Structure 1
Amino acid sequence: MNALIDLLPIVLFGAAYFLRGIYVATGVLIVTCFAVVAISWLRTGKVQKMQLVTAIMAAVFGGMTIYLHNPEFIKLKFSLVYVFFAAALLASHFIGDKVLLARIPQEALKLPDAVWRRLNLAWVIYFLLLAAVNLYIAQNFSEAFWVKFKLASVFLPVVFMLMQAPFLARYLESDPEKDHAR
């Protein structure tokens, strides 16, 4: 459910773009990013830091896009969010006792620290590549193509996770009750 809520801003951004253009879409993105933060807070009583950072960046760069009537700012926002995510993941190698990914509650996946570190670094590289690809497409293709790329990119994290599955499969803990029922 959380993943679907997190996708809401980009999906509504894309829909608004094709119905009303980049400036309305940018306004929709700003509002829905803050709506996601509010929904998360209402459901859990906590504000998710990454959602809040994304909303603030959407407000700043989206606001600049609307105020200055220049879509380059909203295009840049996405790359900056990806760089921020990469920096946070990378910083966790030096701050705290566990890398950021290892701090996320896990039930079925128990990894040795070295594996968590490699997985964390893989996500750093993923976000940096995504930032670079976003900038390249934003600068070298039409605005409509860039928006289509943004919409398609919501599936990239799933693809990236599936690519890691063979490597991580050996660390999955099986449920003895489910195994016995087979």
Structure 2
Amino acid sequence: MAEKTINPVLKQVLELGPTLAFFLIYLRIKDDTFVVGGVEYTGFIISALIFVPILLVAMGILWAMTGKLSRMQVFTAFMVIFFGGLTAYFNDERFFKMKTSIVYGCMAALLGIGLLRGQSYLQYVMEEFLPMEQEGWMIFTRRLCLMFFALAIANEIIWRTQSTDLWVKLETFAFPAILFVFLWVQIVGLQKYLIEEPEPTDD
């Protein structure tokens, strides 16, 4: 199925909306407890379980409207379902919190494997949208690999040492904002490596 265009605002809502919904639901029920099937669950765990179908519905709409999902989106959805299931089965919120570390860690590992092979896997994913010289892609990939690794470590430290309230806020707002600013700074800083498309000439 060919990829279709979609309103960029709607695309952002579908991509970021589920995480914001999780945050709002958590704020509403964080101090409550719920009994499901004779088992008592905290508000955090219920929020995490509600987040799973919200994410899947949003991804389904995005796929229906664009005809395409990125490998990262599919991988993230799998991790959310898997760790959401472990969270519910063991009634342990730690599984959902460590999901973020594993996602960032896997991304760092994949980029690192490519770098060891002298390749930029990031280039394969983004080259169509960001034409850049090979040297620029290698620099970008090394830096992003380190950033993913740093975020994975940061998440591990935070969820193991800080309150659930703080982790939810950082997961919802701080981590995405840090990654967005990092990517923006890198793209601006690597301008000299960008490949400009030749302007059409009049015959």
Report the TM-score, using the length of structure 1 for normalisation: 0.83
Number of the residue aligned with 1:8: 17
Query: Which residues of structure 2 form unaligned runs of 5+?
Result: 1-7, 30-42
Alpha-carbon distance in structure 2 between the residues aligned to 1:91 and 1:121: 11
Number of the residue aligned with 1:145: 166
Alpha-carbon distance in structure 2 between the residues aligned to 1:100 and 1:36: 27
- TM-superposed CA distance for 1:8, in Å, is 2.2
Query: Which residues of structure 1 form unaligned runs of 5+?
Result: 178-182
Distance change in 2, residues 1:99/1:39 (3 Å):
farther
Alpha-carbon distance in structure 2 between the residues aligned to 1:22 and 1:14: 10
Which of 123, 134, 137 matches 1:102?
123
2:59 partner amino acid? V
- TM-superposed CA distance for 1:47, in Å, is 3.3
- The 5-angstrom pairing of residues 72-91 of structure 1 reads 72-91=94-113
- TM-superposed CA distance for 1:15, in Å, is 1.1
- TM-superposed CA distance for 1:13, in Å, is 1.4
Identity within the alignment, %: 28
Range that drifts further, 167-176 or 38-47: 167-176
The structure number with the bigger radius of gyration is: 2
Alpha-carbon distance in structure 2 between the residues aligned to 1:9 and 1:17: 12
Report the TM-score, using the length of structure 2 for normalisation: 0.75
Q: Does 1:120 align with 2:141?
A: yes
Q: Does 1:156 align with 2:178?
A: yes
